[in-house]
A and B are shown apart, each in its own frame.
Chain A
């Protein structure tokens, strides 16, 4: 993976250079956005609901024993919006969308469709990479926002329904409102934006590097997903460190 970092950065640089052409490729961006939303929304909803719920379930009874259950809204709210929603959604998108990107571009490479584009003087970066990268960097932060809201609701549901916690919706959300600030939401956004770039560029790069037949495509898909997840988790640490500097 790390030996390809240079190539990935060059691909990113060239794609960023093509950003002014985005409007020209808006139809393809729209198609990709639909693809991402269509493939991920339901899954994102289920995943987020249970993430919020499980944090509340893990921490709620212990806090309730010590009479601190009114802090649960803030605890679930912060952990979901700063960490769990961006990271878990990115991992989900790497698995669902990153793999699809690598597979589609990989099969286009194997079956000479990319060569055909080049013979028509159509740059594969403009035609294939740019719309995908733009779409994923727009879609993932939106999905993360959606995931944060659903995650909070999941936490609230568990807090109100679990007899050991027994925290009302209003008490939960009051505490959440006090604890979570706009900057905390921004942190989640920043992370999801960076992770979207990672998933998009790693998956497209892996697709463009595909050689061989169906086996090569399979290998590219696996590499795209694994490399994206590893990079997401590594970058998550450094982004968290960097964002801590901006905390009060």
Chain B
């Protein structure tokens, strides 16, 4: 199931989100979301904190059930068990979400060992290979508690790679990382797209990451998608809310005070 870098890219999937609505305790979080992600593209969902990005992402892998609307993976509803069995999907959580009771190596090989897809020696070999890919060679016996935030994210990435995913979802992959590590993770996402050809959906509020890796960017504000387009189209947007989100920094305030 898992393929080495030399093998051809896996079959990427399309994702369609139609009329998605979700409320928590009567508070609407997603207010009718529609978009489509083509197979093999990197689709970045950007928006300020609390705009519903992560909730949207959780819907796309079946962790949340929508109040209204549907999410289709290659035309099949994500909530159906057949879809989960048929397509290989992985999510890289913001915190890494590594199982603390397992070692790094056991975490990375968990999918293969739990589904009994490979013998133990083969799993160990794959784990070493995937950890090497994310720059964590020789870390398989360490406990997740001993790792830094960036290392945890890389282990989570290695764990996702073991699945040989057709769809990878990244939740804030560069948050809490230093700029060097953030660039490294961004490059890793691009490299993965090139190597395994999977469809990637990235949720982030990092403008650098979004414009650096995206084929398409969706801007979500207050539970609604305001705009979808290529990075250039997004840059050219004149909508004041989008413009402010994309351009705001500390300097204008400083200038105001100076004047």
Contacts and interface: CB of A to CB of B under 8 A. Distances in A.
Interface of A: 24, 104, 107-108, 111-113, 115-122, 127
Given A108-B99, A121-B84, A121-B85, A116 B111 contact: no
A112 B97 contact: yes
B225 interface: no
B13 interface: no
Contacts of B114: 120, 122, 127
Interface residues of B, number: 24
Contact of B99 (A116, A118, A119): A116
Given A112-B97, A113-B99, A119 B61 contact: yes
Interface centre among A108, A113, A115, by most B CB within 10 Å?
Answer: A113
A121 B91 contact: no
Interface of B: 58, 61-63, 84-85, 89-91, 93, 95, 97-101, 110-111, 114-116, 156, 159, 163
A195 to B, nearest CB: 26
Contacts of B163: 120
A119 B89 contact: yes
A17 to B, nearest CB: 14
27 contacts: A24-B116, A107-B100, A108-B99, A108-B100, A111-B97, A111-B100, A113-B98, A113-B99, A115-B58, A115-B63, A115-B97, A116-B93, A116-B99, A116-B156, A116-B159, A119-B61, A119-B63, A119-B89, A119-B91, A120-B90, A120-B159, A120-B163, A121-B84, A121-B111, A121-B115, A122-B114, A127-B114
A127 B101 CA distance: 13
A234 to B, nearest CB: 32
A174 to B, nearest CB: 50
A117 B110 CA distance: 9
A108 B101 CA distance: 10
A112 B57 CA distance: 14
A34 to B, nearest CB: 14
Contacts of A127: 114
Contacts of B111: 120-122
Contacts of A108: 99-100
B55 to A, nearest CB: 12
Contacts of B91: 115-116, 119
A113 B90 contact: no
The 9 closest A-B pairs by CB, nearest first: A116-B97, A112-B97, A119-B91, A120-B111, A122-B114, A113-B99, A112-B93, A119-B61, A121-B84
